[in-house]
Each structure stands twice: as structure tokens, then as C-alpha cells.
């Protein structure tokens, strides 16, 4: 299977920029990515901690202006929403897009800003993991079953049927980062894809080997999981310029030192041939979908150089 490539739209960056957010630019970038042969476009998610355009309505608008690209979240925080309402909204998006939705999901990082976000949305941060698990389970049941009864710690359903059914017959694919044992076990039970932010091909391989060991122990099928990667690039012949732009991007985005984030995230700066080698190394490690975020101010320029100069060699 050939590796597919996705583009993460800068839905946070345009909210951080001065003035009213230029939503039209997101549509244009999505259309450009599709025209350049990207197989998917992606958006992030946050309500308060890292403000950005709302994920599902943004993808709904893009669905109406694109025809082929998959529409994904990288990553969505389902625990912030009621699972029945969310299942209905995501099913509706799948109908609008004729079955193009992928839901990359996470439990949220443990920071003061995220804790405040959960509390402001009426969700007890202490139980975000169990709420996350029940939310995913409830949504999957609602997408796949005619009538759902569920008796969980946080949610109870008695003979509930969802009015909207996704176009995708088995429900919306759920991808998870799962970078430690407990999340990996969770993913093997309720996930459909592995979606890490591995900082090297070696880390990716090691993580997958750990998942295979756990699957063998539990009797789960790791082979059914789609293997994806989230990586951030700045492609420039001027390495010093690329490094500067990447540092400014990461520190502005996360409000944390670049060195701290680079230890745990997939980050690359370099020229075209170096970018090809970087991405090729992950393809050789087994990545089936590569979701690319550009760390710098010139999104359209990075998108063009990546699609015209970097990816053709990898597709060949």
C-alpha cells in the first residue's frame, strides 16, 4: 500500500493573527492541497486552551468545497462533548462529505490551561480518561447498532437509536496517539488507527513493536490498525531561516521552549532532499498515512514546495 499524505490546516495560527480570522484562506488552502494531490486535510481541536477555528464546522465547510480528500481531526478532544450529541454531529459530517471523515482523538495534555478548559466546559478533569473511553465506546455503538443500551460510570443510555447513520458502514475510523502502555491497550480495544507524533523513525518502530507485544498478550489484532504519523516540517534551502521559523512557530503555538517540545514531537527543518530523506525514513518504518504540519508563516509556499518538489519522489 502506497503511503498517503495529509495537510494540517493552520486553524490556530489564523486565530492567533491580528484581526478577524480569514476563514476563506482555510478553504483556499484545503482546495490547493487537494489540487496538489494530498489525500487528506486535517484540523486541530481546542475550545479554550489553544483557541482555533472549531473543528467539525470547519471540516463541514471544507467538505462542500472539496471532492476527494479525507477530512480528519489531529487531534479532537471527545471528552469535552456529550457522546450522543457528538456522535450525531460527526455522523452528519460523514454524510455531508460522503464518507470521508477520520477522527483522530486524544485525552488532552495535563496542563493548567487544559484543566481550566475542561472545568469551564463542565467536565471533571480528574476523570478525563474514563470519560474519553466511554465517549468513544458510546459513539461507536450508536454508529454501528440499531439500538443502544449503555450503563457506564459517566453515561447511561436506555434503548437509544441515533437518527443519523454515517456513510461509513462500520462507523467513523478512530485514530489514537497511544504513546504509553495503557493508551496502547485502550487503542487495541476501541481504536482503528495508531497516530503518534514520533520524533524519529526509531521511536516509531519501537512504539509499534510495543503495540504488537501487547496485542499478542491480549489476543487483539494489531494488524487491523492503520499506522499514521503527525510531523511538522519547514522546508528551506536556508537552514538557519528554517530553524528560526520553526522555533518561533513551536514556541508561539505551545507557549513552551522549543527544546522541550522537540524532545517529544516530530519536527524537521532542512532542504528538499533532506525533507525527502526524513519522510522516506518514516515510510520505511511502516507509516501508511503522513499528516504534515508546516512550522512557519508561509503556509501556501510550504504547501507548494512540498507537493511539487518533495512528495513526487516519495510517491514514485
Report, as an integer, the average pLDDT of 300-310: 98
Mean pLDDT of the chain: 97
Report, as an integer, the average pLDDT of 33-42: 98
Which one, of 195, 171, 13, lies nearest residue 106 by Cα?
195
Note the pLDDT tens digit of each residue in 69-89: 999 999 999 999 999 999 999
Superfamily of domain covering 1-172: Luciferase-like domain (3.20.20.30)
Quote the pLDDT of residue 299: 97
Domain boundaries of the chain, sorted by first residue = 1-172, 206-316
Note the pLDDT tens digit of each residue in 208-242: 999 999 999 999 999 999 999 999 999 999 999 99
Bridge partner residues of 180 (DSSP): none
The DSSP result for 80-129, as a single string, is GS-HHHHHHHHHHHHHHTTS-EEEEE------HHHHHHHHHTT--GGGHH
Rounded Cα distance between 41 and 239, Å, is: 27
Rounded Cα distance between 274 and 280, Å, is: 10
Bridge partner residues of 160 (DSSP): 148
Percent of the chain with pLDDT over 90: 99
Report, as an integer, the average pLDDT of 38-67: 98
**CA count, 13 A, side-chain hemisphere, 165:** 9
Percent of the chain with pLDDT over 70: 100
Taking only Cα atoms into account, the Rg of the chain, rounded to an integer number of angstroms, comes to 19
Characterize the bridge pairing of strands 148-151 and 156-160.
antiparallel
When pLDDT is cut at 50, 70 and 90, the band that residue 1 belongs to is: confident
Quote the pLDDT of residue 316: 67
* Cell of residue 271, nine digits: 532542504
pLDDT for residue 28 is more than 70:
yes
Question: What's the pTM value of the predicted model, to 2 decimals?
Answer: 0.97
Answer for the pair 230, 293: CB distance below 8 angstroms, yes or no.
Answer: yes
Note the pLDDT tens digit of each residue in 173-200: 999 999 999 999 999 999 999 999 999 9
Rounded Cα distance between 288 and 194, Å, is: 10
Amino acid at each position: 500500500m502506497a503511503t498517503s499524505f495529509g495537510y494540517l490546516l493552520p486553524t490556530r495560527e489564523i486565530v492567533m493573527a491580528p484581526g478577524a480570522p480569514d476563514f476563506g484562506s482555510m478553504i483556499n488552502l484545503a482546495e490547493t492541497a487537494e489540487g496538489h494531490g494530498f489525500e487528506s486535510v486535517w484540523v486541530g481541536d481546542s475550545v479554550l486552551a489553544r483557541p482555533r477555528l472549531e473543528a467539525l464546522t470547519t471540516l463541514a465547510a471544507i467538505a462542500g468545497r472539496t471532492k476527494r480528500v479525507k477530512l480528519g481531526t489531529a487531534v479532537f478532544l471527545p471528552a469535552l462533548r456529550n457522546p450522543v450529541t457528538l456522535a450525531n454531529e460527526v455522523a452528519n459530517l460523514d454524510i455531508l462529505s460522503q464518507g470521508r471523515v477520520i477522527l483522530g482523538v486524544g485525552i488532552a495534555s495535563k496542563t493548567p490551561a487544559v484543566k481550566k478548559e475542561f472545568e469551564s466546559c463542565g467536565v471533571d478533569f480528574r476523570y478525563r480518561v474514563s470519560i474519553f473511553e466511554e465517549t468513544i465506546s458510546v459513539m461507536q455503538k450508536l454508529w454501528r447498532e440499531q439500538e443502544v443500551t449503555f450503563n457506564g460510570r459517566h453515561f447511561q443510555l436506555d434503548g437509544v437509536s441515533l437518527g443519523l447513520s454515517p456513510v461509513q458502514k462500520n462507523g467513523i475510523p478512530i485514530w489514537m496517539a497511544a504513546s504509553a502502555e495503557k493508551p496502547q491497550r485502550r487503542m487495541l480495544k476501541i481504536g482503528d488507527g495508531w497516530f503518534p507524533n514520533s520524533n524519529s523513525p526509531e521511536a516509531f518502530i519501537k512504539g509499534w513493536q510495543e503495540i504488537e507485544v501487547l496485542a499478542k498478550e491480549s489476543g487483539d489484532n494489531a494488524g487491523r490498525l492503520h499506522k499514521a504519523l503527525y510531523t511538522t516540517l519547514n522546508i528551506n534551502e536556508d537552514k538557519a531561516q528554517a530553524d528560526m521559523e520553526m522555533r518561533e512557530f513551536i514556541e508561539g503555538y505551545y507557549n513552551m521552549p522549543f527544546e522541550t517540545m522537540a524532545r517529544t514531537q516530530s519536527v524537521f527543518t532542512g532542504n528538499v532532499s533532506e525533507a525527502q530523506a526524513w519522510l522516506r525514513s518514516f515510510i520505511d518504518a511502516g507509516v501508511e498515512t503522513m499528516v504534515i504540519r508546516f512550522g512557519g508563516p508561509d503556509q501556501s509556499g510550504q504547501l507548494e514546495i512540498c507537493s511539487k518538489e518533495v512528495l513526487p519522489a516519495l510517491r514514485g
